[in-house]
A = this chain, B = another copy of it.
Amino acid sequence: MSRLTVTYFSRCLMRNTTFEMLMPDSRQAGKPLRTLFLLHGFSCTAGCFVPEHLAEQYQFAAVCPNGENSFWLDGLSTGHQFCTLLGEELPAYLRRTFGICNNAADTSILGMSMGGFGALHTGLRYPQQFGQIGAMSSALIVHEVAQMQPGTGNEVANYDYYRECFGEPSALLTSDNNPEVLADKLLAAGTALPEMYLCCGTEDGLLDRSREFHQFLDSRRIPHEYHESPGDHDMRFWGEYTEKIVRWMFDR
């Protein structure tokens, strides 16, 4: 397995950004290589949380971008375009540089917590780019953010932070930053949705958020995998499900 650290100038961020990458050494020239995007959580940083032996076994590249604390969305300010980075800029860069990431059939996306939200949101925003979504312990917090008033916030961050990331809270539920809106648009247009695998630990404070999104998908008869099992909002649970989801994605 090769390990790459790549720094390029991002127009979406208006500055350099760095991503980490895992690439099978034994890649064959003519043969396409599948790619898995890995999205980290809030207060975390790019890192390959897929074990090397899985990337070896299924022969895929792992791409780990830095999302800072952006919720992987296009924020209000110039240079905070993390969703466009994930769905357009970075795939184009990878296509140009490595010849990978050519279409939805060969590109998947997986994240935990803020990254679980990002995987669902980005996959539903760019279904022509991402064929499969894995979302663990997802911070599906748009309904909470939509209630926020100027001067408020929560124990994690202040109102200005949430407004910068999600846009005006009062307009959030009907905006493209709400994954439900994106799913409904795809259904209305008759566009195929990415395959989805959601999971959450039963001790996780975000469990109800996953249940609600599961119910939303059921209400639209959108097929998806949904799993709960004992576990908390931690690496033990994510290690267990990273392996399960990677096998679900590539074992076919």
Return chain B residues, CB-CB under 8 Å to A2. Answer: 6-9, 97
Do A15 and B160 touch (CB < 8 A)? no
Do A15 and B27 touch (CB < 8 A)? no
Return chain B residues, CB-CB under 8 Å to A16. Answer: 44-45
Nearest CB in chain B: distance from A114 CB, A? 11
Known: A2-B97, A25-B8, A96-B27. A77 touches B15 (CB 8 A): no
| Complex alpha-carbon distance, A167 and B156, angstroms | 20
B-contact 0/1 string along A54-89, CB 8 Å cutoff: 000000000000001100000011110000000000
Contact residue among B27, B29, B79, B161 (Cβ-Cβ distance under 8 Å from A69): B79
Contact residue among B15, B42, B69, B97 (Cβ-Cβ distance under 8 Å from A43): B15
Nearest CB in chain B: distance from A19 CB, A? 10
Nearest CB in chain B: distance from A236 CB, A? 12
| Complex alpha-carbon distance, A43 and B9, angstroms | 9
Known: A78-B161, A96-B27. A5 touches B5 (CB 8 A): yes
| A4 CB within 8 Å of chain B | yes
Nearest CB in chain B: distance from A165 CB, A? 8
| Complex alpha-carbon distance, A77 and B161, angstroms | 4
Nearest CB in chain B: distance from A68 CB, A? 6
Known: A97-B23, A99-B99. A160 touches B7 (CB 8 A): no
Return chain B residues, CB-CB under 8 Å to A77. Answer: 157-158, 160-161, 164
Give the top 8 A-B pairs by smallest Cβ distance, nearest first.
A78-B157, A77-B161, A76-B160, A2-B8, A16-B45, A78-B161, A5-B5, A77-B160
